[in-house]
C-alpha cells in the first residue's frame, strides 16, 4: 500500500520557539492531506485540511496563525507550530487519501512534540 | 456526519474471534462505515469499509445490519498484535477523505 512518512518522529523544543513537522507521500501524489492532533488517552482530533496550491482549511477552534500549514508540492505538507507552549505538547499525525477510489486514508507514523 | 457509539474497551482471548460492535443509528443513505485501528503510538491503519453489504478482506469481516444502524467488525483469529484501539467511522463517500474519529474501542488480546 501507499506510504506516508513524517519527520521528525519526535522533537523536544523550548517554550516560545517554532517547530516544523513534515508530511510526505512517498509513492503517490496527494493534493489533499490532513493534520490531526492526539493527546494521551484521547482520540485523534482533526486540525486542518491541507490543500496543494491553496490555503489550508482549519477546523473550528484551531488557530490558523499558530498552526501554519503549507502544502508546497503534491507530495509534501508541513505543519509549523509557532511560539510553542507546553500545552501544545502532543502527538501530531498526518494523512492522505489514497488515489484508488478515495476510500482509504493513509496515515503517517506521527510526530511526538514535547515543549519544555 | 453520523455519530458512532462503541464500547470503550473489550478483551479477547488469543486465537478466538474478536467481535467489535458499533452503533450508528443516524447514518444516512450515502454514508459508508469505515473501520480503522491504531496500535499504541502509531498512525491509524485502514481495516475495511462498507455501505450496506457485508465485506471481507484479509484482515477482517464487516457485518452491517439490514437497517444499517449498527455494524460489527470481526477479527476471525485474534493475535496479540491485534491489540489496538479500533475506530468505527461513518462518512459520506464524497467528503474528500476527511475522517472524524470518535473514542473507539480499546481491544486487548490476551494469551
Contact status, residue A7 vs residue A22, Cβ threshold 8 Å? yes
CB within 8 Å: B97 and A46? no
Nearest-neighbour CA in chain A from B65: distance (Å): 21
| pLDDT for A100 | 66
Residues within 8 A of B (CB atoms), A 3-62 only: 4, 32, 34, 36, 43-46, 49
pLDDT over threshold 90, residue A102 = no
Q: What percent of chain A has pLDDT over 70?
A: 96
Nearest neighbour of B41 by CB, restricted to A49, A102, A110: A110
Residue with grid cell 494469551, as numbered in its chain: B111
Q: What is the number of alpha carbons within 13 Å of residue A13 lying toward its C-beta? A: 24
Q: Which residues of A touch B100 (CB under 8 A)?
A: 46
- Among A36, A9, A5, residue whose Cα is nearest residue A111: A9
- Among B101, B77, B92, residue whose Cα is nearest residue B6: B101
Nearest-neighbour CA in chain B from A108: distance (Å): 6
| pLDDT for A59 | 95
Q: Mean of the pLDDT values across residues A101-112? A: 85
Nearest neighbour of B97 by CB, restricted to A36, A102, A112: A102
Distances (CA, A) of B66 to A44, A85, B55: 30, 49, 13
CB within 8 Å: B99 and A34? yes
Nearest CA in chain A to B50: A103
| pLDDT for B39 | 96
CB within 8 Å: B34 and A103? yes
From first to last of the 111 residues of chain B, give the pLDDT tens digit: 668 999 999 999 999 999 999 999 999 988 999 999 999 989 999 999 999 999 999 999 999 999 999 999 999 999 999 999 999 999 886 656 789 999 999 999 999
Give the distance between the most distant pair of CA atoms in chain B. Answer: 41
Q: Over the stretch A20-74, which tens digit does the pLDDT of each residue have?
A: 999 999 988 999 999 999 999 999 999 999 999 899 999 999 999 999 999 989 9
Q: How far apart are CA A63 and CA A87, in angstroms?
A: 14
* Cα B21 off chain centre by: 8
| pLDDT for B24 | 96
- Among A17, A3, A1, residue whose Cα is nearest residue A96: A3
| pLDDT for A72 | 86
Nearest neighbour of B43 by CB, restricted to A49, A97, A107: A107
Give the list of residues 6+ apart from residue B111 with CB closer than 8 angstroms, or none.
B14, B80
Amino acid at each position: 500500500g501507499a506510504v506516508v512518512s513524517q519527520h521528525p518522529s519526535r522533537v523536544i523544543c523550548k517554550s516560545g520557539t517554532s517547530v516544523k513537522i513534515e508530511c510526505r507521500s512517498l509513492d503517490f501524489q496527494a493534493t489533499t492531506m490532513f493534520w490531526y492532533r492526539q493527546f494521551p488517552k484521547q482520540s485523534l482530533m482533526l486540525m486542518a485540511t491541507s490543500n496543494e496550491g491553496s490555503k489550508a482549511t482549519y477546523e473550528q477552534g484551531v488557530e490558523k496563525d499558530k498552526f501554519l500549514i503549507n502544502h508546497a508540492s503534491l507530495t509534501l505538507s508541513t505543519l509549523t507550530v509557532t511560539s510553542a507552549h507546553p500545552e501544545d505538547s502532543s502527538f501530531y499525525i498526518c494523512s492522505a487519501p489514497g488515489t484508488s477510489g478515495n476510500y482509504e486514508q493513509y496515515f503517517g507514523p506521527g510526530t511526538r512534540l514535547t515543549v519544555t | 456526519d453520523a455519530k458512532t457509539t462503541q464500547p470503550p474497551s473489550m478483551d479477547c482471548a488469543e486465537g478466538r474471534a474478536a467481535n467489535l460492535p458499533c452503533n450508528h443509528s443516524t447514518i444516512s443513505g450515502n454514508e459508508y462505515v469505515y473501520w480503522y485501528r491504531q496500535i499504541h503510538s502509531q498512525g491509524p491503519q485502514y481495516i475495511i469499509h462498507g455501505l450496506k453489504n457485508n465485506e471481507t478482506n484479509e484482515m477482517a469481516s464487516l457485518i452491517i445490519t439490514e437497517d444499517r444502524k449498527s455494524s460489527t467488525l470481526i477479527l476471525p483469529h485474534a493475535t496479540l498484535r491485534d491489540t489496538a484501539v479500533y475506530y468505527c467511522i461513518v462518512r459520506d463517500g464524497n467528503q474528500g477523505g476527511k475522517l472524524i474519529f470518535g473514542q473507539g474501542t480499546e481491544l486487548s488480546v490476551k494469551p
